[in-house]
Amino acid sequence: KLLSILSVPLRVQDRVLGAFALLDRIGRAFEAEEIALASAFADFAAMAIENARLYEETERRREAAEALAEVVRLVTLSLDPAEVSQRIVESARTLLHARAAATYLLDPDTGDLVQPAYSGDVASVFELGTVFPKGTGVVGLAMREGRPVNVRNVLESPDVVLTPALRARV
């Protein structure tokens, strides 16, 4: 049985990233030299993990910057709002690794939000031109509150207003 455990925190400066553990047979007492070696190993491992995390973060930011630059380039190729919207949703979906993306533009006469473009799986629920009446859906909530809104389950969120027709489609 492996019930003798030596655990050492994985630290980078003053942050604890996790722990490193060595397991051995019942009754083993790790020697001071082994504990020091495990601590040194944990410090090295923490530094390697942190460097990998920083590299991954840098790569994500680089990819985001490249995708945004591509969106700017694509947007300048057309003055058609539907075409620009389509290019934006395709780029955003790829960049954020989402299953779907859509844009909704405000109809100034009604206050409704109209979908000129989508990319991905959203087509199974909403076709091009879907209208969200003023204040409905997560998109209406984001417009109303003027901030990003993150909802884990649109059908269970008390903040999201859905018409019976929209609820049935979702």
3-state secondary structure of 78: coil
Query: Residues of 98-111 as b/e, b for ≥16 C-beta within 10 angstroms?
Result: eeebbbbeeeeeee
Upper half-sphere CA count for residue 110 (Cβ side, 13 Å): 12
Tell me what pLDDT residue 125 has.
Answer: 61
Q: Which helix (H) or strand (E) holds 2?
A: strand 2-12
Q: How many CB atoms lie within 10 A of CB 161?
A: 18
Two tokens, residue 27: 């009754």
* DSSP letters spanning 7-38: EEEEEETTEEEEEEEEEEETT----HHHHHHH
AA identity, residue 82 = A
Instruction: State what percent of residues in the chain have pLDDT above 70.
Output: 93
The candidate with the shortest Cα–Cα distance to 145, out of 160, 158, 156, is 160
> Distance between CA atoms of 166 and 119, rounded to whole angstroms?
19
Whole-number Å distance between alpha carbons of 170 and 165: 9
Please provide the average confidence, as pLDDT, over all residues in the chain: 82
**pLDDT tens sequence across 72-91:** 777 677 667 777 778 878 88
Plot region of 109 (φ>0 → left; ψ -120 to 50 → alpha; else → beta): alpha
pLDDT of 133-165, one tens digit each?
888 888 888 888 888 888 888 888 888 888 888
Torsion of CA 22, 25, 30, 31, to 10 degrees: -130
pLDDT interval class at 58 (50, 70, 90): very high
Structure token pair of residue 15 = 């942050």
**Cα separation, 89 vs 71, whole angstroms:** 10
